[in-house]
Structure 1
């Protein structure tokens, strides 16, 4: 692990493996760099360098205030620039929203892979005050409630599933990432109904969607592909239930950029 410095001085923890053209993995909600280990291994097996990183307020990365989505776009740009002049970028879930935002802000991205971006296109969007309510819970020392609120309103998980997660051994770990729910909700608010700048990026873009995934994700992928002139839609039957299949996804990357 190493750290790179973002534009505002935030230290971003980076994990690099393999050699070749760099592929940067941008994780989704509640994910840290180690969660991308299997995907990184599959990418390395295809002859690339895999780069995973802890987004700010996660894992071994810092968190400089005040927050704005542009700061996370700068974090990703710093990771890319530390790897070389440019990189291939694969973003999953909220990480796909961040990757698209960074591309719109001029990050040096060769090819953009957006895996199941959670865009709602103005339909059934969470309340505008969700980031503020999440931040209040975090500030009041109630991280578990922030996690649950984000899962219910930000992600749209069924209440029964949220209760199962709350009762699991995973929940304590999720509470350590509570601050990141504020940031994911803020990024979603800025990108969920994408504007012309996001849709008009010139970077070659591949939008990935698996099977048995959430209806909002199944709906969003083709809608985004239709609206982005530089994009293609690829269905990945090996990826199920909003989880990336590492070998299949690495193969898709290799086919398009190799």
Structure 2
């Protein structure tokens, strides 16, 4: 069912992993997808190629987030590619990875984390609003790290907490235009890019055993939630953080 026919979606960090899965899922539902990437040109080309082979439409736009001029560069590419067409869906997926525990985090790493995970999504939305049609969708990828105490991810969780606050306040501000603003919070999600992490002895089993649905997540699990929020079926949902973790760390299983 091509429920997103005629829509244009921007997905940041769409060259691999969850972002790639989101881009291909939105395209499968009929959207034209702008595939943003930072440095992985081959991955972005692969995402566009997968979409086009399936009969969809996509274009790649490069901009390294977290540096001066990042959002200006991104939107210069977007506006050139759109050639006057508006945007309908923004998915802020690109993110820097956790910088380590408090004792190991450097100021430079901390600043980079916030530049990519908080500043970039904020100003992407700011730049996008004149292009975003009334009734549009803004979806940002958060993390279950905001509801758990993980000392190795304090600064990372702080960035995602900021994103969730942004989601709430923008939903209130933009609702008069019919624009919904939501966040999706994945848990442990295995992708080709991070598969080696879950090869540590016992880790995958431990996480699955701590998840209500008894398995690791995959990128498609998250992409389906994003696609739902992008659809008309989610028109009455805004200002929410949707947990897409399969029930990670909800409590004892027995």
TM-score (norm 1): 0.41
TM normalised by structure 2 equals: 0.42
